[in-house]
Amino acid sequence: MYLLSGAAFWTTVTYYLFFRDGGREVTWKDFVNNYLTRGVVDRLEVVNKRYVKVVFSSGQTPVDGYVWFNIGSVDTFERNLETAQYELGVEGENRLPVVYSTESDGTFLLSMLPTVLIIGFLLVMLRRGGAGGGGGPAVAWGGCSASPRQPPRS
């Protein structure tokens, strides 16, 4: 039962980490020239304050999946976006909304791996029963088998 549960868990983790859609990375310049100037962007999603995922308007998706780019800091990104929209003549009410979100990228699960392995090892050792021998406890707690010492006769 433990083996089946463990296999299912690690299969799910592996699938999540290695086989999910990673999108397509572009540079800030490519984003501005190819997507922002065309007006196909619906909103921008800042994920974990590290990168921006571009959400396209419905029916106007120029690529399969999604497009993303790295940012140095949120302040710099907001300043660059404001400057780019100003240069394109985008008015205040037509500016792109920026949404902030947090996503798990699997590092939490990987940081838990040593703890899970130690607990699993301890559980297996407890079920097997000790350090080898006959499966009994390593120390007998029931009492001493030696006979008490008799006082010398005089």
d(CA 41, CA 57): 5
d(CA 22, CA 48): 15
66: in domain: yes
Q: Which of 108, 111, 106, 81 lies closest to 96 in space, CA to CA?
A: 81
150: in domain: no
Token pair of 133, please?
A: 């021998």
Token pair of 153, please?
A: 């006769």
Give the model's pLDDT for residue 16: 65
Per-residue pLDDT of the chain (154 residues; tens, 9 = 90+): 667 777 787 777 677 666 666 678 999 999 999 999 988 999 999 999 999 999 988 877 777 778 899 999 999 999 999 999 999 998 888 899 999 998 876 677 778 888 888 998 888 888 887 555 555 555 555 555 666 677 777 6
Which residue range forms the structural domain that includes residue 47? 22-101
Q: How many domains does the chain have?
A: 1
What is the chain's length? 154
Q: Give the CATH number of the domain where residue 94 resides.
A: 3.40.1690.20
116: in domain: no
